[in-house]
Copies of this chain bind each other. A is one copy, B any other.
Amino acid sequence: MDMKVALDTLWVLVAGMLVFFMNLGFGLVESGFCRAKNTVNIISKNFIVFAVSTIAFFAIGWGLMFGDGNGFLGLKGLFFLGGADNSPAVGDAYSGVYSAMSWTGVPLLAKFFFQLVFAGTAATIVSGAVAERIKYISFIVFSFLLVAFVYPVTGHWIWGGGWLSKLGFWDFAGSTAVHSVGAWAALAGVLVLGPRIGKYAKDGSVRPIPGHNMTSAMTGALVLWLGWFGFNPGSTMAADPNAISHIVVTTNLAAAAGALAATAVAWALLGKPDIGMTINGALAGLVGITAGCAFVSPGSSLVIGAIAGGLVVLGVQFFDKLKIDDPVGALAVHGIGGIFGTLAVGLFAQDKIAPGTTGNGLFFGGGFSLLAKQAIGVAAVGATVFTVSLVLWLLIKAALGVRVSEEEELEGLDVGEHGNRAYPDFVQTETVA
């Protein structure tokens, strides 16, 4: 047995398991931030979305993303991992149709598992933003289409050997490839759905709709933080001790700084340290460092995390001002955080940290070149995913409808969509709206 292959595989799989566990994190943060009457629906969505993603990515997505092809999409070995592949052979010894992944010396199924849990993450980001009014079947259909066709195409551009990777765009673990993609797909959905009943009053005021379970939300956030220790350092896809130690530390520093900055900004702006902002600040710090975790210093990661954390408080208010109703703040966390994090590579990257990759960013003497390429990637991926998602949501709306009835929304989606109640033994208050 080749020890290096074994060790790398172990690391990739364990990291992938941690990323898988993020499904729980998203499920708990999203349901905790929503009302009790919609809990079964939300956690059902979060549970089944990974099952749907598994099938979609196995059947179609993997091949489109990592199959050899042109700059825009994969064209070989498209279905069910069916192409030739002699992994764990690497470099010149590799012979197969998934050559964009030939830099990592682990078995094909290990590559697939790790990439699958990333695809699932993009899909699950959507679920929070569209919560409390979307039809279950419509969410399932959109998730399948997203993971089968949309995510893998922009993913091909970035990680599959496509045009953005050739341009010199860097996104180490997916601030754009995963998080922004999820957020743009969600934004399209939110616009098609419209806000929840009662969220925006006719006089223009915004009505807070508090989440039903802060214990869930906190639990989910810590599970996500843990999962990010797979997400970012696992993206080495090799047990490189210096790289993964570095990335664990930058990831953690950014999360800490994000939590503290968001808490401070919320305390200053809102008067009290709102727990939702503390949690979303940590998550924004994590999203923000995802693109650059391997390219920036620990000190820079503190700054990146703090900015992302501060931005999330402003972002939540920004979307509310536009009457874009995102019950859990996913657009601020993954959208704004993902955009900022990708641009931050262009600002904070240092050649000496990962020689031969990004080169220096603006703040370290590299000029605007890298920053410009990062901006191109942000814009191209955003425009594409938003546009295609909008079309898909509109098609689904025409075919199946996207929104539950007003009666069902008021009663709660748990009974209407699932015939279940989440907490039948407890007396509940009349919930908002």
Interface residues of A, Cβ cutoff 8 Å to B: 1, 3-11, 13-14, 16-18, 20-21, 23-24, 27-28, 31, 35-37, 39-40, 43-44, 46-48, 50-52, 54-55, 58, 80-81, 88, 106-110, 112-113, 116, 136, 210-216, 218-219, 221-223, 225-226, 229, 233, 239-242, 244-246, 248-249, 252-253, 255-257, 259-260, 263, 270-276, 278-279, 282, 298-299, 302, 417-429, 431
Evaluate contact between A7 and B7: CB separation under 8 angstroms. yes
Partner of A272, one of B272, B302, B417: B417
Given contacts A36-B426, A298-B58, contact A109 B260 (CB under 8 A): no
Evaluate contact between A425 and B421: CB separation under 8 angstroms. no
Residues of chain B contacted by A271 (CB below 8 angstroms): 419
Given contacts A37-B425, A241-B88, A424-B429, contact A23 B222 (CB under 8 A): yes
Partner of A253, one of B20, B21, B54, B215: B54
Residues of chain B contacted by A239 (CB below 8 angstroms): 6-7, 9-10
Evaluate contact between A44 and B273: CB separation under 8 angstroms. yes
Interface centre among A52, A241, A273, A278 (most CB of B within 10 A): A241
Evaluate contact between B47 and A273: CB separation under 8 angstroms. no
Evaluate contact between B420 and A275: CB separation under 8 angstroms. yes
Partner of A21, one of B47, B226, B241, B427: B226
Given contacts A215-B216, A241-B106, A259-B47, contact A17 B80 (CB under 8 A): no
List the B residue with the shortest CB-CB distance to A46. Answer: B218
Evaluate contact between B218 and A47: CB separation under 8 angstroms. yes
A208 to B27, CA, bound (A): 26
Residues of chain B contacted by A272 (CB below 8 angstroms): 417-419
Evaluate contact between A253 and B58: CB separation under 8 angstroms. yes
Evaluate contact between B51 and A282: CB separation under 8 angstroms. yes
Report A236 CB to chain B, min CB distance, Å.
Answer: 11
Evaluate contact between B51 and A256: CB separation under 8 angstroms. yes
Evaluate contact between B222 and A273: CB separation under 8 angstroms. no
A405 to B418, CA, bound (A): 35
Evaluate contact between B420 and A214: CB separation under 8 angstroms. yes
Report A283 CB to chain B, min CB distance, Å.
Answer: 11
Evaluate contact between A222 and B27: CB separation under 8 angstroms. yes
Given contacts A10-B7, A107-B242, contact A20 B424 (CB under 8 A): no
9 contacts between A and B (CB under 8 A): A7-B10, A10-B11, A16-B248, A27-B219, A36-B426, A212-B423, A214-B420, A214-B422, A276-B420
Report A14 CB to chain B, min CB distance, Å.
Answer: 7
Residues of chain B contacted by A245 (CB below 8 angstroms): 9, 13, 106-110, 113
A319 to B21, CA, bound (A): 32
Given contacts A55-B260, A81-B298, A107-B242, contact A274 B20 (CB under 8 A): no
Evaluate contact between B275 and A222: CB separation under 8 angstroms. no
Report A228 CB to chain B, min CB distance, Å.
Answer: 10
Evaluate contact between B47 and A110: CB separation under 8 angstroms. no
Partner of A6, one of B7, B112, B260: B7
A250 to B298, CA, bound (A): 36
Given contacts A136-B273, A424-B429, contact A278 B48 (CB under 8 A): yes
A9 to B427, CA, bound (A): 50
Evaluate contact between A423 and B214: CB separation under 8 angstroms. yes
Evaluate contact between A44 and B426: CB separation under 8 angstroms. no
